[in-house]
Amino acid sequence: MAVTIALAASMALAACGGSGSRGAGSASIKNDRLKYAACMRAHGVPDYPDPGANAAGGAIEITAGKVTVGGRPLSESWSVVRPAADACEKDLEPSFGPRYSGAQLAKIRSGALAMSRCMREHGLSSYPDLKVTAGPGGHGFSVTPPHLSHADAISPAFRKDNLACSELLNRSVPGRG
């Protein structure tokens, strides 16, 4: 399944990326991302990369059951990465992602529900309603990914439907529509 998670908001089926700010704040953001990467490694994800050109600002993506950070595959499963991400979230600077208004978050939640309905309409009757929450300090957001069997997550039909249905969520995110 194509899931992108911003670590500022610890999990996005399609969440925001890193901050594009420059100047004094960017050094602090880099330090927070370094602390986050070290924390992830200390919490059972030893191949979690330090931030850099290949770390995509800390975005985690889950595709067909494989977890990547900035396109770099991790050997750990989502069941290992998720608790580490939750434990390490404290190391991220709150200004990591944009601050979304209540109306913007409502639109994102609506997009997540539309994606869930779409997946059920495409035959995955047990696909749950996705939950969207605001990130730390109201910056960024997260989408709780569904728990799927490995067989479902790697099936070509699922991947095709997930790609089509995830557009409903992606279009709901400000700046992505």
Long-range Cβ pairs for the range 42-48 (8 Å, 24+): 43/83, 43/84, 43/87, 43/88, 44/76, 44/80, 44/83, 44/84, 45/74, 45/76, 45/80, 45/81, 45/84, 46/76, 47/74, 47/75, 47/76, 48/74, 48/84
Task: Dump pLDDT digits (tens) for 40-75.
Answer: 999 999 999 887 644 444 567 766 667 888 778 889
Last residue of a domain, one of 65, 96, 127: 96
pTM of structure: 0.52
Residue 30 domain-assigned (yes or no): yes
Domain hosting residue 64, numbered range:
3-96
Domain-located, residue 177? no
Residue 153 domain-assigned? yes
Q: Do 53 and 108 share a domain, yes or no?
A: no
Q: Is residue 65 part of a domain?
A: yes
The mean pLDDT of 23-45, rounded to a whole number, is 76
Lowest mean pLDDT among 32-46, 134-148, 158-172: 134-148
Torsion angle of alpha carbons 37, 42, 45, 51, nearest 10°?
Answer: 10
